[in-house]
Amino acid sequence: MSERTYAIIGTGALGGYYGARLACADVPVHFLLHSDFAHVKAHGLRVESPEGDFSVQKPSVSAQPEDMPRCDVVMVCLKSTANHLLKKILPHVLADDGVVVMMQNGLGVEDEAAAIVGPDRVMGGLAFLCSNKVGPGHIQHLNYGQIRIGDYDPAGRVKGVTPRARAFGDDLVRAGLPVVLEDDLILARWKKLVWNVPYNGLTVALNTTTDRLMHDPHTRKTCEALMREVQQGAAAFDRTIDEAHVQKMLDDTDKMVPYRPSMKLDYDEKRPMEVEAIYGAPLRAAASKGVHLPRMAMLYEQLKFLDAANRPLV
């Protein structure tokens, strides 16, 4: 049993899956829920997975952050569009010597947590997971599940693999999750954008799924072109994304089941999309180094229009 206690902030497709895996490995986990609170308190968490279904019958759940115990590791699994809530959440749930792990897409999300709890108490976690929330307390895991962990440095320097990253990784491995410890969080974030930039945005803009993007030669070419621009953005910060990584992202997507990425799911459900974290922040970062990424910029502008037009009228 882990000596560390965990808080899951955002018990959806991501937090529900990883939190349930940790809980099933006898890691002390406390879940913050909103709309699902009453259901999960009464019925628990259920995960369907090709690796075997599992459930947490009596999870520790809270509807308000002030009702949660202070935990050693706080995994922020909210969408980045909800990060304005962190000021109200993190001071209640983070132990005095605890660490916040930002399990979010995009670039610069650690900066938001660091502004609240301090830069020495923040790490980054990158989830490579195909998973959907299909009902209250009901997660459907489709494929993958790897987490890549890196420690945060406010100046963007290479931090190396730290003891606390190893400890966090040990708990995840105990839960049966594949883990990679990254010595360079900035490079890891740009490398994840190689997948997120083409597939999240294009599935929305073209109203499609990943398999159709890959099977059509024109959209496949567009995906590759967007990946090249992410490489250019990373290079502006002296980070090299090699061709093997680009090819792996293409190969992995070729093998993937037909999939709607998180941004497409958000669009279809008329929820705010993570346009700023996945597109705006990398574009601004690259521009600060004098690098313009025209295809990504055009997709960003299209997504901003679609996001605004998709919001329910108040």
CB of 94 within 8 A of CB of 71? yes
Q: Kindly write down the DSSP assignment for every residue of 82-129, as one continuous string.
A: GGGGHHHHHHHHEEEEEEEEE--SSSSHHHHHHHHH-GGGEEEEEEEE
Q: Are 106 and 278 in contact (CB under 8 A)?
A: yes
Q: Which of 79, 133, 191, 192 is catalytic?
A: 192
**CA dist list (Å): 48 to 17, 24, 138, 173, 308:** 9, 14, 8, 20, 34
Is 41 a residue of the active site? no
Token digits of residue 269 = 């459900």
Contact of 68 with 59, CB cutoff 8 Å: no
Single-letter amino acid code for the residue at 170: D
Amino acid at 239: R
Place of tokens 């108040």: 314
Q: How far is CA 174 from the centre of its chain?
A: 21
The number of CA neighbours under 13 Å toward the Cβ of 216 is 12
The pair of three-digit structure tokens given for residue 230, joined into one six-digit string:
């992410």
Residues marked active site are found at 192
